[in-house]
Amino acid sequence: MTDFLNSGFRKTDLNSDANMEQNVETTVLGADEIIINMGPQHPSTHGVLRVKLKLDGEKVVDSECIIGYLHRGVEKIAEHRTYQQFAPYVDRMDYVAAVSNGLGYCEAIEKLLGVEAPPRARVIRTILTELQRIASHLVWLGTHALDIGALTPIFYCFREREEILKIFEKYCGARLTTHAFRIGGLQYEAYDELEKDTERFCNDFEHKVDEYETLLTSNRIWLGRTKGIGVISGEQAIAIGATGPVIRASGIQWDIRKAAPYAAYDQYKFDIPTGKNGDTYDRYMVRMEEMRQSTRICLQAIQNIPTGPIMARVGKVLKPPPGEVYHAIEAPKGELGYYVVSDGTTQPYRVRIRPPSFVNLQAFDTMVKGHLVADVVAIIGTLDIVLGEVDR
Amino acid sequence: MRREETPPPAVCRNRGKMPNDPEDKQPPVNAQGEKPANEQADKPTGAPVAPAVQPPVAKPVAPPTPPKPAAPATAPGAPVGAAMPGAPAGAATLPKPPAPPKEAPPKPEPVDNPLVQRFKKRFGAGILEAWQDRKQAILVVDRAHLVEIARFTRDDEQFNFLADLTAVDWPKREKRFDVVLNLYSFPKNERLRLKVWAADGEPVPTVSHVWPTANWLEREAYDMFGIVFEGHPNLTRILLPDGWQGFPLRKDYDILTQDTAWIRENLGIESGQ
Amino acid sequence: MLQELYEFFKPHLLPLLYAAVIVLVLPLLAGYVVLLERKVMADMQARLGPMRVGPHGLLQPIADALKLLIKEDIIPESSDKWIFWMAPLLSVTAGMLAMAALPFGPVFQIAELNVGLLFILGISSMGIFGIVLGGWASNSHYSLLGAMRSSAQLVSYETAAGMAVVSAVILGGTLSTRGLVEIQAQKHVWFFFLAPIGFFLYLVASIAETNRAPFDMPEAESELVAGYMTEYSGFRWALYFLAEYTNMIVVASLATILFFGGWLRPFPNVHALNFLDYLPMLLMLLVAGYSLYRAPKQPVAIQKMVMAAVAGLCFLLAVALALPQFAPAGTLLASMKPGLHGAFWFLLKVGIYLYTFLWLRFTLPRYRFDQLMKLGWHFLIPVSIVNVFGVGITVYLSRSTDEGGMGWSVAAAVALTSVVTLLAAAWLAKKGEHEPAPPATPESV
């Protein structure tokens, strides 16, 4: 019988106060250095992220990210579910961009099976994924601006995002964790007004992005807070494994949608925005431009959605032949990879999810060294991490 | 997913028919929602009989869950094989198109292309096997030469990006762990997979000084599987709490297992499992 | 005996009354400024703001005040209890005391000091004690750091604010607050038009003085250092909050007095524009009418009643403003006109200035602390020094030749000096242009 009063708080290791003391004793701190702890509950860490910062006055000398507070054992669960049963779980990893997760997973299993989704399904998947990309970037923009002190953009961004979520709700019934796609294609046919809704949204949205840009892009204070902050060069980014807008802002023009097109991306014209300096401002500009490009893709896609079936010929019971596959897509946050090993049974033998936020977060230490404490929050925001994905 | 007898709501009414709807197989046990809308489309859409190529373990399995009627698995994909109306209802009798050519189900095959040959020339015995599975190249390399091979792969073969480093547990094998490195080459726009076999307790050299990405990825592999990476700067648990005993992603770690001692000590409760 | 006592206290009775009014009304006023802020914030963020407590949230401040009063009073264990108790009081007292020398109209002023401006500036600086002591008494490392930063910011921007004030003083030639307004009445021009740069400098400096965005890093929630107010809860925190809004009202009043003619109606000497005298009562009637119109649309009975009461109140105010306007000249009522109307114009201008504060808060992101300090010391202070010279030269240029000046027209003098000051400011801004933050240490990854 546990002693209620004495249990829990004092002995908890999660806080690792003891560890912190140990750290203070064993690490040699300079005369002015202190270690402060940020999180796991903190309004700006965008989830349960714990960051230990070693400060010299205001300057960050060293940092350590401690993750795992949202670890749910998703990969272990995958081994005990059938392929279709596991699909809703992937939505919950990057819960801000559930549709992308679903796309990556369904395409990975389709590769494993050797089937291809029909053209109509591919195009509808593309439309929904691009809408989801816009929604994810809107969340990023709102929260990033809020952390830096701009109190208004978040409301505008969420207002726009509301429209996208309405489209998702009309399509599959869910706003956030959509489980929109199925292995082999789509479950639901596109509803009647999907094209009209998307077109209306996309046409509206261009002006809205301009609105956000007027608030932030040439704002002197915004420039001061984001230019030169969190710089990571192209080589460093490749070395540390950063993907997505992080690597594009550092000058490497790489997007899996162009390098290894999946879904229907090879049919559409779009640009890949890149930055030059690899700082926070460039990542901001890259993501803003990506939102515009996504709008462009959506508008092209809805012009010409092919008719036909929405589901490929896959059985109800999926037993992919033994083997393995690694399939990567360009999620809003970076390269989302699924490495699936099948042993011929109905349940996957191993599902490994390569989370973009996890690998991007490794770059945090490099990016934050030498900056001031107030920039830490900006850098976490600019990496656009979702702890659900980092911890799985 | 359960589907009701009542017609689906307006927004989903024109739901496409699933290709395997079993008009010709046993009647659906559950009322699949298409029935009201698509009854007249029953006749022509007799799906071609399941292709002859059966994966080795196929047998009409009893449906694991009610909504899945028994059907053979893995038909090779032929998306537009049957005349599935994209819109419902009013389907006239469409002529049955010829059954699509049956593609062989995907499976791993040994491969010997120029890339593999270059590796073999350089490392000879270091390359244990070379496969191609689902159009992706896999090289199984020797643990002892991993670092050299890693450097060669990064520098000479220009696979400068480590996309993922993970492990798979095959408990029945003597060398139970497969450490898998998924690589990508920016200059060549190519992907490659390197695999290393490691037995339980055998350390694997770290590649974190070759690809710094591997830092946290190896920590995660250690955390989940217990594979020790020699030379890693900070091989500690990353996702699980520091004092956790056990390596969850091993196959002998039951899905309901928890480190009850850690939970009792740190959370002050008895583990619910 | 009683007669003597009365004679003794007589000169002080009216100021005491005014002081009582301020002390009683100010918390309420500050509360409604908070409500105004929330509604303006909501409006800019495309939402509604408080709507529930009272119609359109009009009773929200009362509800908030009551809630804070009944909250548990938590004092950190190892804090210095006396100082913990005293610190918020210092801040509030400083803010309120500064109001002693502020004229809210030609009549409503507690104390007419001939060095009123100096008094106000000095007393406002005393508020910094409250912040520092509050941070220290919290016995928390982070609170102390936050308090230090806050006080450093306040001290830095006071110099710039003071210089901007000096530019108005040069134009007015007096430190007395009432005197400055009267000089503006005499000269038929608001000092804003004679020293526009001074006004904008004062605007920026006053935002920093009151810890408002974009200069609110010390009290931002998303920062690590939580600010001096962290350990304060319940009514003590309400006092700090009150102090902040009181400071806002004080700086707004000061700006109005210095640059916008205080209680003067726009163009007070132009008879053709005398119809502007009807504006106050018309405005109040408009508000009363709108409230009456919205009253039946409120969902709940109590809200209907409150809305009607608001309409009634505005109507009474309109009547109070109208009576002196329409009373025959020479009567007592008519003599109340400058007082009442002056107070109205004063409060209107203060309101507009406060709206600008709120507007800036919700539009601009926050400055990082070192950028904030750099802005204060490297930009604002040099520019304000140049501005002081500029205003001096304006005065010299525009003085008539027999007084020793150059006899230029006022507009030309102002234009010239403003342009020169702006050029200096632009040069300073360019010089201090964004330097990249210290680069990440080149550790090989």
Question: What tens digit of pLDDT does each residue of A6-34 get?
Answer: 322 223 333 444 444 443 334 455 667 88
For residue A322, give both structure tokens.
Answer: 């033994």
DSSP for residue B79: T
CB nearest A2 (choices: B69, B253, B269): B269
Q: Where are the alpha helices (DSSP H) in C70-210?
A: 81-98, 116-137, 141-172, 177-187, 191-194, 196-209
Radius of gyration of chain B (CA): 26
Distance in angstroms (rounded) separating the CA atoms of residues C137 and C87: 8
Rounded to the nearest 10 degrees, the angle between the axes of helix C279-294 and helix C337-363 is 60
C414's enclosing H/E stretch is helix C410-431
The one-letter code for the residue type at C232 is Y
Q: Name the one residue in this structure whose structure tokens are 């550092």.
A: A250
Peptide bond into A43 cis (omega under 30): no
List the domains of chain B with CATH numbers. 109-236 (3.30.460.80), 240-273 (no CATH)
Do A117 and B79 form a contact (C-beta atoms < 8 A)?
yes
Q: Which residue of A has its CA nearest to C436?
A: A228
**3-state class of C383 per DSSP?**
helix
Chains touching B by CB (3 or more pairs below 8 Å): A
Place of tokens 């890259």: A286
Q: Which chains touch C (3 or more CB pairs under 8 A)?
A: A
The pLDDT, as a whole number, for residue C225 is: 57
| A-interface mutation test, from C215, C223, C230, C361, most A Cβ less than 10 A away | C223
C336, HSE (Cβ side, Cα atoms, 13 Å)? 12
Alpha-carbon span B66 to B26, nearest angstrom = 13
Residue C89, classified by CB atoms within 10 Å of its CB into exposed (0-12), middle (13-18) or buried (19+), is: middle
Distance CA A228, CA A230 (A): 7
- C-alpha–C-alpha distance, residues A344 and A317, integer Å: 12
**Reported ipTM:** 0.86
Strand (E) or helix (H) holding A74: helix A74-78
- Strand A323-331 to strand A334-342: parallel, antiparallel, or no bridges (unpaired)? antiparallel
The shortest CB-CB distance from C224 to any of A38, A222, A223 is to A38
Distance from CA of B55 to the nearest CA of A (A): 7
**Chain A contacts of B266, Cβ < 8 Å?**
11-14
CB C86 within 8 A of CB C129: no
| Residue-range domain boundaries for chain C | 71-262+372-433, 271-360
Three-state DSSP class for residue B158: coil
Q: Does B239 touch chain A (CB under 8 A)?
A: yes
Strand B127-133 to B136-141 pairing: antiparallel
Q: Which two tokens stand for residue C86?
A: 């005293």
Cis peptide before C328 (omega within 30 of 0): no
Q: Which CATH superfamily is domain A74-391 in?
A: Cytochrome-c3 Hydrogenase, chain B (1.10.645.10)
Taking the Cβ of residue A361 and every Cβ of chain C, the question of whether any pair is shorter than 8 Å is answered with no
Spatial distance between the Cα atoms of C157 and C209, rounded to a whole number of angstroms: 6
- Give the range among A231-240, A372-381, B264-273 with minimum mean pLDDT: B264-273
CA distances from C423 to B55, C200, C420, C428, C429 (A): 81, 15, 5, 9, 10
- Closest approach of B29 to chain A, Cα-based (Å): 14
Which residues from B are below 8 Å from A170, CB to CB?
11
Nearest to B15 by CA among B85, B96, B97: B85
Write the pLDDT tens digit of every residue in A132-179. 999 999 999 999 998 888 889 999 999 999 999 999 999 999 999 999
- Flag if A326 and B217 touch (Cβ within 8 Å): no
pLDDT of residue A350: 93
Amino acid C420 reads: V
* CA dist., res. A270 & res. A286, Å (int): 14
Give the pLDDT confidence of B191-212 residue by residue, as tens digits. Answer: 999 999 999 888 999 998 899 9
Closest CA to A335 of A326, A348, A345: A326
Integer Cα distance of B213 and B192 in angstroms: 16
Rg (CA), chain A: 22
- Report the 10 Å Cβ neighbour count for B73: 24
CB atoms A151 and C45 under 8 Å: yes
CB contact under 8 A, B76 and A115: yes
Three-state DSSP class for residue B182: strand
- Asked if C440 lies within 8 A of A216 by C-beta distance, the reply is no
| Helices and strands, counts by H and E, chain B | 5, 8
**Phi and psi torsions of C237, nearest 5°:** -65, -35
**CA-based nearest distance C422→chain A, Å:** 18
Among C221, C223, C365, the residue with its CB nearest the CB of A221 is C365
Query: What are the residue ranges spanned by the domains of chain A?
Result: 2-66, 74-391
Q: How far is CA C60 from the centre of its chain?
A: 22
Query: What is the rounded distance in angstroms from the CA atom of residue C274 to the CA atom of residue C265?
Result: 9
DSSP B269: S
| Cβ atoms of residues C68 and C216 within 8 Å | no
Give the DSSP per-residue string, B126-143. GEEEEEEETTEEEEEE-G
Q: Would you give per-residue pLDDT tens digits along chain C (445 residues)?
A: 788 888 888 788 888 888 898 889 888 989 999 999 999 999 999 999 998 888 888 889 999 989 998 988 888 888 788 888 889 999 999 999 998 888 888 888 888 888 989 999 999 888 888 888 988 888 777 778 788 888 888 899 999 999 999 988 998 888 988 889 889 888 888 889 888 999 999 999 999 988 887 888 777 655 555 677 777 888 888 898 889 999 999 999 999 999 998 888 888 777 777 788 888 888 899 999 998 998 888 888 888 888 899 999 999 988 888 888 887 777 777 778 888 888 889 999 999 999 999 999 999 988 888 888 889 999 999 999 999 999 998 888 888 777 777 777 888 888 888 898 889 888 888 887 755 544 443 333 3
- CA pseudo-torsion sign C47, C53, C55, C59: negative
Instruction: Tell whether C77 is within 8 A of chain A (Cβ).
Output: no
Q: Is residue B84 within 8 angstroms of chain A, CB to CB?
A: yes
Are C160 and C201 within 8 A, CB to CB?
yes
Chain A contact partners (≥3 CB pairs within 8 A): B, C
